[in-house]
Copies of this chain bind each other. A is one copy, B any other.
């Protein structure tokens, strides 16, 4: 065992589109990565605990953790008392995923489980009040409406992205 940090193999065919969704999927778009991060949000920090709680194969967990550390979503810290023993902690970049988890939990609870059958909830640690909804806020700080939001190209949009958005809107106009 030479490599202290085993090199995370790059994905064979990542999405190459300049797109926020595509880039997110290159990092999290598989069936285990978000489940690993769920454990991190619960508080799990150890390889063995994450492995037992998710059921992921060890080689895959090893690979995914290396990738998440490389991408600075998690950091690996040595917690050994007489040698090396690792713990994985969420970084600021990782903790910033909370709204993504909140949105997923909210959707799944509403559309896959239904009221009264929610397996997990989010709550305020002090008041205990349950999280119930996400509100979109505009750049001026005022509330926006979900139904009024549309996707548009940003300052970093590539020609291909502009083309894609325009092409897709044509279908919309046809309706």
Contacts and interface: CB of A to CB of B under 8 A. Distances in A.
B103 A99 contact: yes
A150 B137 contact: no
Q: How many copies does the complex hold?
A: 2
Interface of A: 15, 17-27, 29-31, 34-35, 38-39, 41-46, 49, 52-53, 55, 87, 93, 96-113, 116-127, 129-142, 144-146, 148-158, 161, 164-165, 167-175
19 contacts: A17-B55, A20-B112, A20-B113, A25-B31, A29-B29, A42-B169, A49-B167, A99-B146, A100-B100, A102-B149, A116-B156, A118-B156, A119-B158, A125-B149, A125-B150, A131-B144, A132-B141, A134-B137, A135-B137
